[in-house]
Amino acid sequence: MREQWRRLVQASAQADSFRGREAVLEEILALVQAWDSEAAPAAGGRDARRPILHRAVARRLAAELEVQLGRLATDLTQPARSAEAPVHAMLARSGHVLSTFLGYRAAVRLSQAALRLTGSLSKR
């Protein structure tokens, strides 16, 4: 997982600036989704609830990002909340900043916690 997170951060670091990162966002999003689905238990009941879980976890993740990143979190979470998989989108958008200012370990831990709560990541 750590290696995948490193790839994600490297992908987001390719753009010249944080605000110009939109171009690579799709690529990062695909990485997070692949990471998420790799460990998915594929339980039928849970799959049906995933969009609901995603929205619930997205609210908690947005609150946490606001505590950590303050005003910057507004930029990172507002467009993502309306996305189909808002948790993925938020992690993709905030991953690079979190990794820089909190370190890889903390960024991965936060992502793991969020993905685990969506019900798709097995507890390990």
Partner 1 sequence: MSWRAQPATVRWIATLTALHLGAGAVAVAVWVATGSLFWILSYLRYAGAAFVVGLALAEAVLSVRAFLGFSRGDALRPAWLLISVAASARLAGFVLAEIFSPGPGLTGPRFIAQPAPWLPLSTTHRAGLALAGPVALLLLSPALALVGRAYDRHGLSGELRVMDWLALGVASFLMVNDTWDGIRWTLAREAPLDLYRALGFVVDPLLLVLLFQALTLRRAAQTMAGGLIGRCWSAYSAAVFLTVLGCLGQWAVNYGYLPRPVAVPTWFVWFLVSAAFATGPAYQLEALDRVRRGLLPSGWS
User: Residue numbers of the site for partner 1 (CB under 8 A)?
Assistant: 13, 16-20, 57, 59-64, 66-73, 96-97, 99-106, 109-110, 113-114, 117
Q: Which amino acid is at 25?
A: L
CB of 39 to partner 1, least distance (A): 17
Residue given tokens 């505590």 in the structure block: 67
Cα–Cα distance between 12 and 35 in angstroms, integer?
16
- Name which of 17 and 44 has its Cβ closer to partner 1: 17
**Measured CA distances, 26 to 30, 66, 71 (Å):** 6, 23, 24
Q: By C-alpha distance, which of 83, 82, 108 is closest to 94? A: 108
Which residues, 6 or more positions from 114, have their beta carbon under 8 angstroms from its beta carbon? 57, 60, 61, 87, 90, 91
Encoding tokens for residue 109? Answer: 């831990």
Q: How far is the CB of 26 from partner 1 (least distance, A)?
A: 19
CB of 49 or CB of 105, closer to partner 1 = 105
Instruction: Give me the least distance between CB of 110 and partner 1, in Å please.
Output: 5
The CB-of-56 to partner 1 minimum distance in angstroms stands at: 9
Q: 31 vs 62, which CB is nearer to partner 1?
A: 62
For partner 1, the closer of residues 30 and 72 by Cβ is 72
